[in-house]
Amino acid sequence: CKSLPETFLFQLLGLSIATLSTVTHYGLRFTLISNVSLDSNSYRVIHQRAFYFGICLSMTLILAALLSSAATVRESQCLTAMGFFCFALAFCGLIPAACWRYTHSTEVEDSMMDVYDFVYEEVRRNTSSFRRHELTAIHEAFLCCGKHSPFGDTINVELKTCPPGQVHDEGQDCLREIQDFLKKHMDFVFSLLGIAIGFTVTASVLSHF
């Protein structure tokens, strides 16, 4: 049977996933890209689905931990079976999520950079003053300045939209900054999924016995 420290560990794991999902959904950098993205871009759909999946997964883990704890105290086979079912349900969600992260590792990255490319080119062609404000907000959020464009004529764009004191160089290329930021975030997500899978398998075995 599960001990109180193990129950607390699963509750903490569920809260960590919920916190990460909330930060990902409402974080400034993510919301900026989501608000700017077009309907034809896949980022907004991924952004929404990741949030709801994370919240559902965290609630499932917390519920499984509470049911297992109550089953231990009351020595109830019914509660134990319900806890095992919740752990199995969480496992069935974690495996596809981890596989999606592995097989679609660049999809989110590409969609975010496509959004930036679109806004940047709109501003470069001077077709929208509203897009200029959006590009300025992205530069301030990611602390970057412009990009290396094969079309040239980027200096005017960067002077109008980059934060004061920013000097455009290779280290501040926004496409690279977005790529680096998202890679670190996705690596953290994948690590948390791996930990959750390991603990969920352990808990399922213990609940079964």
How does pLDDT run across 148-163, given as a tens digit for each residue? Answer: 765 555 567 777 788 7
How does pLDDT run across 4-63, given as a tens digit for each residue? Answer: 566 778 888 889 999 999 999 999 999 999 998 888 888 989 999 999 999 999 999 899
How does pLDDT run across 79-115, given as a tens digit for each residue? Answer: 888 888 888 898 898 899 888 877 877 888 899 999 9
Total Cβ atoms within 10 A of residue 89: 17
Range of the domain at 39: 4-208
Look at phi and psi of residue 14 and say left if phi exceeds 0, alpha if psi is from -120 to 50, else beta. Answer: alpha
How does pLDDT run across 186-203, given as a tens digit for each residue? Answer: 889 888 988 888 888 877
- Model pLDDT, residue 129: 76
Number of domains in the chain: 1
Q: What is the mean pLDDT of the chain?
A: 82
Q: Tokens standing for 171?
A: 């280290």
Q: Report the C-alpha gap between 15 and 89 in whole angstroms.
A: 17
Dihedral sign for Cα atoms in the order 177, 28, 90, 206: positive
Its pTM surpasses 0.85? no
